[in-house]
Amino acid sequence: MNAYLFFKYLHSGLRYIVLLLLLLAIVSAWANWIGKKPYSEGQRKLNLFTMISVHTQLVLGLVLYFLSPFVQFNAETMKQHDTRYWTVEHITGMLIAIVLITIGHSRSKKAATATAKHKNIATFYTIAALIIVAAIVTSGRGLLGMTH
């Protein structure tokens, strides 16, 4: 197996873990925020592991970015859906989402109350998840597809 395929499958497989952790963190944060629950050590770890998983996915994605035959820098890149998507759109959307998750996690750590901690995670992680889903769906391969 060549390096491109290895990183493609690793990156594609890790997305399920990332999406699961992100979904769990979001549901937990919203439930705890609405329910005015204390901020637990388990919640802190879930939020941290979610952020670590998206950063790991970013590193794998950056490696894949430079190995992918779909990432091209030429006059035709922006005219073709696949090359435009993989060269510009996917990485831009995912970077924005990862920045939002990082900001949400950081603000949650600095927040003085449990309500503020839950609110930061719920807000920033939810917006990031919506961007991630939109970025994946616009690829044309569906949320759980594995073509390119």
Per the CB < 8 A criterion, the answer to whether 51 and 106 are in contact is: no
pLDDT (tens digit, 9 = 90+) per residue, 11-34?
999 999 999 999 999 999 999 999
SS3 84: helix
The more confident residue out of 138 and 44 is 44
Q: What is the CB-side half-sphere exposure of residue 74 using CA atoms within 13 A?
A: 7
pLDDT at position 126 is: 98
Per the CB < 8 A criterion, the answer to whether 68 and 12 are in contact is: no
At 126, phi and psi to the nearest 5?
Answer: -65, -45
Per the CB < 8 A criterion, the answer to whether 21 and 46 are in contact is: yes
pLDDT at position 148 is: 45
Q: Mean pLDDT, to the nearest integer, of 36-51?
A: 98
